[in-house]
């Protein structure tokens, strides 16, 4: 089993980094897909130089982590971050179907949600005016509901449904995964100081993927040359579904954390550049 887990991990790393789409369902009613956008701040007022010796580099980043909303399970055995507003979509190579993952949630094991993530690195380079930071998740599990669709089914046969599977569940467990950030200043057209951040996923020390109830119907199989071929098709499709789920979760976590941490990273960089940052209405 351990060997298969690492084979899946290596195969997933070899897949293209770009997932067909990561959709924020709550962003718009008129578009099936929309990019993850940053929260709007009314204004940023840059005032007198700030005494950065009074603050550690990671102070605002840690505060943001601790303030991220988590929900306790009824059993109290874990907390969770709700990602139900997001969806993954990817066409499969091994079968002519589209894979969708919805109802996603990040589970944080333990009876307390404190210290579920920590700042492993936070360093400001005054020469390059660059903030390098790194978040590490101790042990998280991401669950999602999976469905396969044949988008062309109604065209081929109006009586044939487009949904090829009932919702099944997939869970990916990541131990010591993380996200690294590089935050740099840039000049906006107005002449004001702006900030841009690049986020990178940090590969975990341990990863496993499990599927629950994802038995595929016979209509999914394209081969008709015997049970052995059907078993082989089943294995290929199931393996690719797990790979797509793993790859999509890596991308989703990276984008999600970049969005959540953007303000803290921006403020930390500005403070280290010698400014104080306050917020007010225009």
Residue 85 lies in domain: 2-279
Q: How many domains does the chain have?
A: 1
Tell me the C-alpha distance between 175 and 192, whole Å. 41
Q: Which of 148, 197, 194, 204 is nearest to 173 (CA)?
A: 204
Tell me the C-alpha distance between 175 and 18, whole Å. 23
pLDDT of residue 6 exceeding 70:
no
Q: What's this model's pTM, rounded to 2 decimal places?
A: 0.75
Tell me the C-alpha to C-alpha distance, in Å, between residue 68 and each of 110, 146, 150, 196.
Answer: 16, 26, 37, 22
Q: What is the pLDDT of residues 180-230, one digit of tens each?
A: 999 999 877 776 778 899 999 999 999 999 988 887 666 565 555 666 766
Q: Supply the DSSP symbol for 282.
A: -
Tell me the C-alpha distance between 256 and 75, whole Å. 26
Per-residue pLDDT band at 96 (split at 50, 70, 90): confident
Q: What is the pLDDT of residues 30-77, one digit of tens each?
A: 333 323 233 333 333 333 344 343 346 888 898 888 888 667 665 666
The mean pLDDT value for 258-271 works out to 92
């Amino acid at each position: 089993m351990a060997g298969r887990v690492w084979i899946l991990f290596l195969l997933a790393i070899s897949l293209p980094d770009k997932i067909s789409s990561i959709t924020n369902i709550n962003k718009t009613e008129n578009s099936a897909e929309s990019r993850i956008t940053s929260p709007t701040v009314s204004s940023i007022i840059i005032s007198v130089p700030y005494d950065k010796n009074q603050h550690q580099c990671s102070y605002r980043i840690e505060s943001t982590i601790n303030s991220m909303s988590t929900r306790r399970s009824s059993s109290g055995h874990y907390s969770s971050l709700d990602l139900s507003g997001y969806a993954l979509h990817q066409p499969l190579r091994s079968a002519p179907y589209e894979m969708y993952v919805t109802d996603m949630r990040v589970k944080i094991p333990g009876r307390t949600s404190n210290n579920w993530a920590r700042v492993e690195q936070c360093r400001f380079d005054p020469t390059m005016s660059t903030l390098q930071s790194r978040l590490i998740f101790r042990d998280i599990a991401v669950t999602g509901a999976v469905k396969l669709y044949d988008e062309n089914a109604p065209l081929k046969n109006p009586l044939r449904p487009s949904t090829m599977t009932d919702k099944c569940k997939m869970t990916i467990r990541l131990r010591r995964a993380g996200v690294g950030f590089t935050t740099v200043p840039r000049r906006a057209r107005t002449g004001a100081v702006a900030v841009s951040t690049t986020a990178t996923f940090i590969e975990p020390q341990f990863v496993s993927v499990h599927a629950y109830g994802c038995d595929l119907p016979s209509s999914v199989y394209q081969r008709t040359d015997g049970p052995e071929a059907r078993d082989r098709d089943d294995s290929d499709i199931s393996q690719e579904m797990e790979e797509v789920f793993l790859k999509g979760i890596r991308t989703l976590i990276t984008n999600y954390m970049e969005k959540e941490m953007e303000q803290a990273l921006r403020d930390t960089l500005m403070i280290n550049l010698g400014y104080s940052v306050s917020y007010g209405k225009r």
